[in-house]
Structure 1
Amino acid sequence: MLDYKIQLQVFEGPLDLLLYLIKKDEVDIYEVDLAKIATQFIEYIETMQQLDLEIAGEFLVMAATLLYIKSKELLPADQQALDSLDNNEEIDPRWELIRQLIEYKRFKEMASTFQQLEKRQDSIYPRKPVQLELPLPTQSIKPKLTLLDLLNAVSNVLKRYNEKNNISVILEERWTVSEKIQWLLNTIPNGKVMKFSELFSNASSKLEVIVTFLALLELVRLKQLIVSQPDQFAEIEITRQTQNNTDTNNTQTESQITTNSHSTNQTDS
């Protein structure tokens, strides 16, 4: 695995990921194909493992639950009923999960409503600032774009690479996150828009894709790059952050990179 490890709160919990997958497939929660969703959920977990993202235990529990539901749905209807009796199941795990999803979706919608009301209240009764602050850089990730979208995009890129055919390339070449960060800064000048897929058009292996993606995440975190989508599930676009103190930020970025990144000359198993 990679020596460089990045820790991110990618999403609040496994139900967030399930709702994202359901929305992505444009299906009603009551009609969702949990067998298909289970496969997609596992693919996301595998992508996170390849990227060395920390995975909370609740995601692994949900993965096990989905696999159990998927295995039951593959059985004939009469066998499903018999299996439920043998396991003393009083509640269908499929409908229990759907119930949780509906409740969680309502909770998120209510939370969003309260946030909008709070913003409206602030505009009516503005809060007096305690002290003057310098304007912060613009938000690195637009509201409509989440890290789940980034994981989805890089997962699609990784599927195109068969590591067995690239062993010789991996042994000959080495990449570091700091090198890829510098490459990204040189490749994406101010004012230029680059498609997400273009970042990996010349990548020779799955390992290089992973290192490049980690470099992208680091630059987004440092507010050097902005990622956005014209429309939901459209291809992600990347632009360079424009600031008056760009030179200062670049110097700070390089110093932080040096202390945080290590050589990624190991292959993923």
Structure 2
Amino acid sequence: MEQLSFKLDAFEGPLDLLLMLIKKNKVSIYDIPIATILDQYLEVMKSMEEMDLEVSSEFLVLAATLLQIKSRMLLPKDEDEEEEDPRTELVRRLLEYQQIKESIEFFREHENYSVGLFFKLPDAIERPPAEMNYSKMTLENLLDAYKMSCIKLERKLPPPKRSFSGIVGHEKVSIKEKVRKIWNGLVSKGRMLFKDIFKGVKSKPEAVASFLAVLEMIKLNKILVEDTGVRGEYSVTKITDDDNFNFEEIED
């Protein structure tokens, strides 16, 4: 096996490591050379163990997934049947993760857009001025709240559409429509809980689109996200008194 000849930067989890390997190998995310990437992924895991770093179950699960994909790609194909590429679901997960990661990095690099995120102190405080900056931890906590919403959501969701491969197509969810739905809810109610945004969500792609919609609205300085004081619970409030919103500003 070819040894890993490049230095890896710090990575935050298995999908982050996988994206880094894809980037370092200069290959397309849509055409991942599974055998090569798997070998390098396992090599990194081995190095982590040698350095006495904790290897979480998430890394092991993804390693098993890569092995399964590699095995499926080695199986002879039936020329009479059109089979889905075994990498399709992995690519979808990577694209979702990459999109969320890029949104998070945007906020870290552009603090002037951070007006919508701050911690609520124990004593009553006034709404912060526009120049107030968010803390890195605040954004991470919001991401944790999203993850918790997804965990609760997965317990209620029906089998994913990939279980019916060949019968239904892949789902594409509009971020713009999610922004419209959230905004209309805020115009009507004035305030909602972050977790309420995920009520009625029927799939993981829809949950991702909902979260990205929240980030877009914060970036455009349309909403305020506050820590309610209850662990992992946030409130979402419309900042402006103007009910108008140019939804064409939102890119899907």
Bigger radius of gyration:
1
Which has the higher relative contact order, 1 or 2, with Cα contacts under 8 A spaced 6 or more apart?
1
TM-score calculated relative to the size of structure 2? 0.45
TM-score calculated relative to the size of structure 1? 0.42
